[in-house]
Each structure stands twice: as C-alpha cells, then as structure tokens.
C-alpha cells in the first residue's frame, strides 16, 4: 500500500510579540494573549442573509504591518468556531489551537460558527426552511462569505490569503475555492479531510463503528441521491443519523468528489493527517487526495503524522481518541512553516 512521506519540520522564524502598555491602552482591540496575539469578534452575512459569527485572531504587531490571513472551516455536526462539539465529552479546541499557532508565526485567521451553531443564526423551525438553510451549497457559500469578510480587515494582506478546512470542512474548502473570483485565495490546507466521496466515507464509518446500521444505510443514501430526501419510516437509530432536513446537504455532498476537485485546483495545497485517525483512516480514506496531489503541476505537500488523532492531537495508545490536549507539535510546526512559506509570512 502506498504511503505518504513524512515531511520534515521547519523551525519558526517568528514568535509572539506583546504590545507596549501605551499602545495596548489606546488600542480598540480586546483580549490580549500571553503569546502576543489579539482578537476581534466579527459578524458577517452569507448570501442568503444568514448571519455568521466568528473570531479574527491576529499577531499583535498588525498595528505596525499587515499579515497573511487564513479562513478556518470546522468539521461535521454541531462543531463551533473553536472545533468543539457538544456531542463529544471533551474540550477539543482544534481550530482555536491552530489559530493561536498560526498567529505566533505571523499569520492571521478568521474562524466562524457554522450556520445553526453557536452565535450564528439558528436553524429555522419550518421543515422546508430547514432543508434550504442546511443545503450543501449554503455551507459552501458560507466559506466564500468568510473569505470576503477576512479581506475587509485592514490588517490582512489581500494578496496573501488561504483556506483551511478540518475534516468535512476540507470538503467545503475544496468546493468553495473555485467560486472565489475576486482576490482569490493562494493556498488551501486540508486537515483530516477524506479523499473519497461523502457517501463512501459515511458507509465506511458505519461499517467500522455501527455495523448493525450499515445494511440500511445504502437504502437511505440511495433515496437521498435520487430525490434529495431520506425515506420515511426509518428505525430510530437511522432517523437520528438522517433527520428529514439533511437530504439536500447529503445530496450535494455525495455528488462532490474531493480527489477530482483537488486534481483540478491550481492552488498550492497542504494535506495534514493523523496516523492514528479513527474517523478518516490512513491510508485508505485519504489515499485519493495524495494521488491527486502528486498528479498536479501546482505545488503541494502531504504529512501523515504518526501517533496523531483526527483532531490533530498526540495519542497515548490505541484506545485514546485524541480529543484533549495541545495540538501535536509536528502538526503545528508543519502548518506554521508551510502556510508561512505559501503566503509569504
């Protein structure tokens, strides 16, 4: 089986810089960190009027010069701007940790609560409105809107931006990047992102984690693929997995092939995966992305980090899901070095 090469780490050139006390007192920014970063709450509108709430995190020295910027896109389920999910009994914070690590390397980030999550506009009550609100194209459009919001901030270099998606967020990044025509992003980062179409990944995950449900999934996915809605009369377990409103989202997601999209992308790309990922399994689930990366003329690198989880944390052993703790150093170092080079930080 083909393996991805391990990528050597590079030393960072920049560390955090604290603002002088006088500058801090005069600054409109709030929330200084020990690492010398500062943050701003943002709200911006998606193309359907949905309001998305997020956080812009910048190095402190942006009062003196502009910096490159990256949009961070969360993964599946009710995952917020920081990478936390109420269905997981642990504080994960993957996106917050990535944002802080990139700020230390001189890179700004904008991360946001997905529609229906956190401080963003909540899901409407009417079933028909829920379907439209949660459609695949809406989530793709939200990435586009977040990139446009990033560019509005004077501290960001408009010619040096990119997109980073974690897990399902990487699929949204791949789908959104070609739709951005003005001030196009210059690179993409796919972190723990599946390389196979959504339906295949969902089926594989259920076969591993809930084999008793796997038999009924093909019928559900077939109905969604055909008419955009799950069938009625499903067992309770499948109703939980496939609520009525999810049909338009899954229909769009299943029609999207991430490897084909990456092969066609002219943007530099970094793939980052954990060797101990229990959700997107190396190398089976990610090999199509690695193959697509190698077949392109555009630049790119891949890192499959041993002993690292789906949430990019170091694990202690086979039974550790890798939810808690800091970002794995090999991952943080690679993100900072590669993005810094790609965007000229």
What is the tally of helices (H) and strands (E) in the chain? 12, 8
Q: Any idea what DSSP says for residue 192? A: S
Give the DSSP letter string of 60-115. Answer: GGGGTS-EEEEEEE--SSS--TTS--TTSSS---HHHHHHHHHHHTT-EEEEEPPT
Sketch the domain layout of the chain as residue ranges.
26-197+256-343, 208-248
Give the DSSP letter string of 292-316. Answer: HHHH-SS-EEEEEETTB-TTSBB-S
Cis peptide before 283 (omega within 30 of 0): yes
Distance CA 114, CA 122 (A): 10
Q: Any idea what DSSP says for residue 37? A: E
Q: Considering just the CA atoms, what is the radius of gyration of the chain in Å?
A: 20
Residues, the chain, total?
Answer: 345
Distance CA 110, CA 278 (A): 28
Structure tokens at 318: 């086979």
The pTM (predicted TM-score) of the whole model is 0.89
pLDDT for position 59: 93
Residue 307: count of CB within 10 angstroms of its CB: 16
Distance CA 143, CA 189 (A): 14
CB 297 within 8 A of CB 303: no
H or E stretch including 157? strand 156-166
Name the 3-class secondary structure at 45.
Answer: strand
* Per-position pLDDT tens, the chain of length 345: 333 332 222 222 222 223 333 333 333 333 333 358 899 999 999 999 999 999 999 998 776 789 999 999 999 999 999 999 999 989 999 999 999 999 999 999 999 999 999 999 999 999 999 999 999 999 999 999 999 999 999 999 999 999 999 999 999 999 999 999 989 999 999 999 999 999 999 988 888 888 888 778 989 999 999 999 999 888 888 888 899 999 999 999 999 999 999 999 999 999 999 999 999 999 999 999 999 999 999 999 999 999 999 999 999 999 999 999 999 999 999 999 999 999 997
Distance CA 4, CA 8 (A): 13
Q: Does domain 26-197+256-343 have CATH number 3.30.590.20?
A: no
237 phi and psi, to 5 degrees? -65, -40
Distance CA 225, CA 197 (A): 12
H or E stretch including 286? none
Q: Which residues pair with 56 in a beta bridge?
A: 40, 110
Does the CA dihedral 134-77-264-9 come out positive or negative?
A: positive
Q: CA of 68: how far to CAs of 202, 297, 324, 336, in Å? A: 35, 24, 29, 12
Name the 3-class secondary structure at 166.
Answer: strand
């Amino acid at each position: 089986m083909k393996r991805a090469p391990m990528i050597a780490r590079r030393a960072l050139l920049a560390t955090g810089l604290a603002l002088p006390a006088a500058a801090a007192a005069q600054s409109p920014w709030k929330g200084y960190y020990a690492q010398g970063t500062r943050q701003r709450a943002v709200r911006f509108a998606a193309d359907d009027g949905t309001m998305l709430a997020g956080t812009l995190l910048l190095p402190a020295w942006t009062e003196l010069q502009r910096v490159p910027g990256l949009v961070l896109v969360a993964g599946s389920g009710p995952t917020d701007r920081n990478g936390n999910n109420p269905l997981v009994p642990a504080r994960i914070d993957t996106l917050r940790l990535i944002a802080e690590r990139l700020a230390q390397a001189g890179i700004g980030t904008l991360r946001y609560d997905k529609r229906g999550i956190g401080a963003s506009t909540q899901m409407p009550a009417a079933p028909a409105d829920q379907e439209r609100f949660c459609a695949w194209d809406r989530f793709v459009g939200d990435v586009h809107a977040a990139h446009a919001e990033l560019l509005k901030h004077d501290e960001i270099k408009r010619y040096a931006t990119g997109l980073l998606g974690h897990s399902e967020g990487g699929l949204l990044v791949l789908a959104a990047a070609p739709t951005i025509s003005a001030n196009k992003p210059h690179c993409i980062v796919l972190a723990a992102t599946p390389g196979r179409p959504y339906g295949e990944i969902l089926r594989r995950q259920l076969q591993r984690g809930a084999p008793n449900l796997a038999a009924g999934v093909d019928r559900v996915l077939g109905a969604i693929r055909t008419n955009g809605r799950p069938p009625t009369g499903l067992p309770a377990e499948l109703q939980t997995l496939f609520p009525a409103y999810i049909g338009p989202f899954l229909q769009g997601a299943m029609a999207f092939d991430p490897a084909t999209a990456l092969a066609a992308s002219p943007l530099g790309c970094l793939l980052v995966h954990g060797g101990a990922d229990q959700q997107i399994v190396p190398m089976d689930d990610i090999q199509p992305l690695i193959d697509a990366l190698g077949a392109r003329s555009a630049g790119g690198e891949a890192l499959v980090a041993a002993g690292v989880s789906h949430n990019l944390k170091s694990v202690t052993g086979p039974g550790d899901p890798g939810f808690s703790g800091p970002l794995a150093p090999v991952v943080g170092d690679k993100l900072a070095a590669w993005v810094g080079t790609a965007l000229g930080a």
